[in-house]
């Protein structure tokens, strides 16, 4: 059935394009070849190495004996979400073939991408040992610039490489600095290889993922958790992050292949992980409101 396959491919390409354009955390996605499967199907393993330092060299006994400690750490997949959308053939036809196509692209742009971003930030914010600023609400761009300098100093002192640092901040804060248009403000922003505006609706220290079936959670998606705080900005050193999708299912079932109804069906599922390498927690810096 070549026509059916071609149609499915056209839909899939469209959905992928929408997602790439809408996500603000796509830059953090890593190479899955850098990890290997764990003993259990829901785990991955990554290497962590520690080496002893230099010792005194003596002319009688020569070098001190060093040691290498390489262990495999385990991380568990922590994101498994999906949905199924069904649109009746006549509903789609009578909307000039718009209903089904728009439903799929809207799902990606308004639900999948925002939730993926919110989950990423909330997960990173909850990692033990990351650097955190004193909770505050900035009154102007100058206070924000001062906080950025403090964050930069902290990461510099922790010897986090400057290359690969990504600044995520609310549009309000980033726009306020751009409005200053001074050498100092430009230098502060130029210290980051990538700068991304994150809508506050995706920028919380904790979220609740709604299951889509319990009372009050029928619509699915996510919401700010009761314990969640609004994030001002987050600096992420990409090499510190474990983030990739083990499995994404995004396919179309045509009405003639649907045994239950005369409807188009779009299925979407994403199974992946967001975590931080345990030796690299200094690569995350968080500032949130009080």
User: Which band of pLDDT confidence, cut at 50, 70 and 90, is reported for residue 86?
Assistant: confident
For residues 128 and 76, give the distance between their C-alpha atoms in angstroms, rounded to a whole number: 16
User: Which band of pLDDT confidence, cut at 50, 70 and 90, is reported for residue 188?
Assistant: confident
For residues 199 and 46, give the distance between their C-alpha atoms in angstroms, rounded to a whole number: 32
User: Which band of pLDDT confidence, cut at 50, 70 and 90, is reported for residue 151?
Assistant: very high
Mean model confidence pLDDT for the chain: 86
Q: Which residue has the higher pLDDT, 181 or 270?
A: 270
Given this model, what pLDDT does residue 155 score? 97
220 pLDDT higher than 80: yes
Given this model, what pLDDT does residue 67 score? 92
Classify residue 221 as left (phi > 0), alpha (psi -120 to 50) or beta. left
Average pLDDT over residues 218-245: 95
87 pLDDT higher than 70: yes
Q: Which residue has the higher pLDDT, 2 or 278?
A: 278
Domains of the chain: 2-288 (3.90.1690)
């Amino acid at each position: 059935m070549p026509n059916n396959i071609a149609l499915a491919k056209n839909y899939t390409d469209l959905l992928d394009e929408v997602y790439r354009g809408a996500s603000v955390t796509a830059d953090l996605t890593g190479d899955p070849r850098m990890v290997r499967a764990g003993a259990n199907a829901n785990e991955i393993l990554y290497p962590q190495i520690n080496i002893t330092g230099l010792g005194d060299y003596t002319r009688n006994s020569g070098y001190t004996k060093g040691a290498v400690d390489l262990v495999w750490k385990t991380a568990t997949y922590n994101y498994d979400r999906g949905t199924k959308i069904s649109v009746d053939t006549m509903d789609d036809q009578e909307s000039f073939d718009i209903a089904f196509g728009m439903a799929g692209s809207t799902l990606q742009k308004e639900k999948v991408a925002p939730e993926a971003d919110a989950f990423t930030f909330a997960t990173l914010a909850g990692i033990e040992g990351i650097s955190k600023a004193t909770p505050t609400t900035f009154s102007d761009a100058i206070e924000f610039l001062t906080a950025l300098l403090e964050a930069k100093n902290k990461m510099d002192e922790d010897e986090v490489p400057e290359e690969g640092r990504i600044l995520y901040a609310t549009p309000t804060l980033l726009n306020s600095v751009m409005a200053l248009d001074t050498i100092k403000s430009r230098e502060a922003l130029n210290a980051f290889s990538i700068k991304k505006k994150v809508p506050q609706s995706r920028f919380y220290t904790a979220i609740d993922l709604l299951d889509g079936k319990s009372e009050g959670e029928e619509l699915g998606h996510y919401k700010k958790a009761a314990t969640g705080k609004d994030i001002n900005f987050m600096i992420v050193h990409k090499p510190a992050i474990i983030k990739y999708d083990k499995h994404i299912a995004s396919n179309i079932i045509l009405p003639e292949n649907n045994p239950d109804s005369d409807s188009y069906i779009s299925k979407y599922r994403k199974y992946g992980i967001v975590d931080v390498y345990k030796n690299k927690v200094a690569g995350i810096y968080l500032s949130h409101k009080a």
